[in-house]
């Protein structure tokens, strides 16, 4: 007799047997050929696999050497000619970040060497 999930099939004719009761002690009779079969629908089959069992080109790319970047070591600021409202310096640094919704403009954060910083929502 063969079992697929909770479906049990007759060993003689392969017909689908009546619904399983969930115990091996139960015996199911085939409605097609009359053969009596043990109820094996309750058996639990556990299979295990690992990613290497299913090779793919995408998975191979994932195992390539990846460069890690630490956030505090990234230079994200750029210089721009903008007057600092605190000290009057003509050139300040700026960076842009997306603080609001994706359909809204970025926020530009300016910072001066004097320690002053301000932002504009575009």
In a domain, residue 6? The reply is yes
Is 84 marked as binding a ligand? yes
User: What integer pLDDT is reported at residue 17 of this predicted model?
Assistant: 81
Whole-structure pTM value: 0.40
Is 32 marked as binding a ligand? no
Taking residues 19-32, report their average pLDDT: 74
Question: Which strands make up the sheet holding 78-81, listed edge to edge?
Answer: 78-81, 91-97, 107-111, 117-121
Number of structural domains, the chain? 2
In a domain, residue 22? The reply is yes
Provide the CA 75 distance to its chain's centre, in angstroms: 30
Q: For residue 109, what are the domain limits?
A: 78-121
The CATH number of whichever domain residue 113 belongs to comes to 2.20.25.10
- Reported confidence tier of residue 44, pLDDT bands at 50, 70, 90: low
Q: 14: closest CA among 28, 32, 27, 26?
A: 32
In a domain, residue 86? The reply is yes
Neighbours of 30 (CB within 10 A): 21
Taking residues 50-63, report their average pLDDT: 75
For 31, the 3-state DSSP assignment is coil
Q: 5: closest CA among 61, 43, 47, 49?
A: 43
In a domain, residue 68? The reply is no
In a domain, residue 90? The reply is yes
In a domain, residue 73? The reply is no
Residue pointed to by tokens 């721009």:
80
Give me the DSSP letters along 57-96.
Answer: HHHHHHTS------GGG----EEEE---TTT--SEEEEEE
Taking residues 63-85, report their average pLDDT: 77
Taking residues 44-66, report their average pLDDT: 73
Is 114 marked as binding a ligand? yes
In a domain, residue 84? The reply is yes
């Amino acid at each position: 007799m063969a079992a697929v999930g909770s479906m049990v099939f007759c060993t003689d004719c392969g017909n689908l047997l009546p619904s399983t009761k969930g115990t091996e002690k139960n015996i199911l009779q085939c409605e097609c050929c009359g053969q009596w079969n043990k109820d094996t629908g309750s058996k639990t089959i556990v299979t295990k696999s690992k990613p290497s069992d299913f090779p793919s080109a995408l998975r191979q790319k994932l195992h390539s050497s990846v460069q890690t970047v630490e956030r505090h070591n990234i230079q994200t600021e750029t210089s721009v000619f903008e007057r600092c409202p605190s000290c009057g310096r003509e050139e300040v640094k700026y960076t842009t970040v997306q603080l609001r919704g994706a359909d809204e403009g970025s926020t530009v954060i300016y910072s001066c060497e004097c320690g002053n910083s301000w932002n504009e929502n575009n």
